[in-house]
Structure 1
Amino acid sequence: MRSNEFQLRVNWGDTDKAGIVYYPNYFKWFDIAGHQFFRSCELSPLDLEEKHGIILPLLDVHCTFENPLLYDDIITIKTSVEEINNKTIKLSHQIFKGDTRTGVGHELRGWVKQQDNDIKAVPIPEDVISILNEDIQNISSKNPWLSA
């Protein structure tokens, strides 16, 4: 199934008093990675909403923290499709510092149609399922913030 990876730098504001990454940042990074993933598939969440009335709300999230991250660490976030159901997509996320995995988890997102003042989960179209099932790995080019 399709996957994507990109890099970020841990900022000072991402850490706690002990200088270790504060755990909610993993969930922030999962969210960023999910949106990056959909963009890499040419399924931009903004385009889906504006052109098709589709939004991708978060239904469930989980993370296991394995190793600490510190200020100024460069991390690689690897995202892949773990499971596609009729109305949901489960993305797997792994965060690495070099070769060391620091955390692993997932997001479960709904495929939801906005109509008037209502939202309703709807079946994921076959063409989208085909895109998500492609065996393609996108690796984003170097982020200019990493060399600053």
Structure 2
Amino acid sequence: MPELLTYEITFGDCDPAGIVFYPNTFRWMDAAFHKLLRKHGGHAYLCETLGALGVGLVDASAQFQKPMRDGEQLSLRIANLKWSRRTLTIHYGGEVDGSARFKGHEVRCLFKETKDGIVAGEIEQLRQLLEPSNE
């Protein structure tokens, strides 16, 4: 998949040791996901279209392979999308100058309001909107 996000790492992204503070990795994955959604109208538009409250996060993890530092240019890609009946798993890869720095994933659900409360709804309609063949 194409690069979704490029970001110049700054001093403010780093911890006292001079390496990226790990929560920023999750912030960048979230930003990349929302950039993907913007290609299709954005989060609010998609939720309105699908009668959903949100495309919410239910799980996230990252494996850090090499430190990232101030001044480096991060390239973040979505490695793949894995769809199930009620979830979308997004796999990310972060690189600096072609060198892998981290891998991560998010699991997201399409949350809908029902008489029983908020539930993870069927996600096939979102898949139809986001599939590459529809771009």
Q: Does TM-score exceed 0.5, indicating one fold?
A: yes
1:84 shift after superposition: 0.3
TM-score normalised over the length of structure 2 = 0.85
Instruction: Tell whether the 8 Å contact from 1:37 to 1:79 is kept in structure 2 after alignment.
Output: no
Matching residue of 2:25: 26
Percent identity reads 25
1:129 shift after superposition: 2.1
Question: Would you identify which runs of 4 or more consecutive aligned residues in structure 1 move more than 6 Å?
Answer: none
SS of the equivalent of 2:36 reads helix
For residues 100-115 of structure 1, the aligned pairs below 5 Å read: 100-114=99-113
Kindly indicate whether structure 1 or structure 2 has the higher relative contact order, using CA contacts under 8 Å at least 6 residues apart. 1
Note the residue ranges of structure 2 that are not aligned, 5 or more in a row. Answer: none
Matching residue of 1:35: 34
Between Structure 1 and Structure 2, how many residues are aligned? 134
1:134 shift after superposition: 2.5
Matching residue of 2:46: 48
Instruction: Tell whether the 8 Å contact from 2:80 to 2:91 is kept in structure 1 after alignment.
Output: yes
TM-score normalised over the length of structure 1 = 0.78
For residues 43-82 of structure 1, the aligned pairs below 5 Å read: 43-54=41-52, 55-82=54-81
- Whole-Å separation in 2 of the counterparts to 1:71 and 1:113: 40
Task: Report the residue type matching 1:45 in the other structure.
Answer: H
Note the residue ranges of structure 1 that are not aligned, 5 or more in a row. Answer: 139-148
Structure 1 residue 119 corresponds to structure 2 residue 127: no
Aligned-residue CA RMSD in angstroms?
2.4
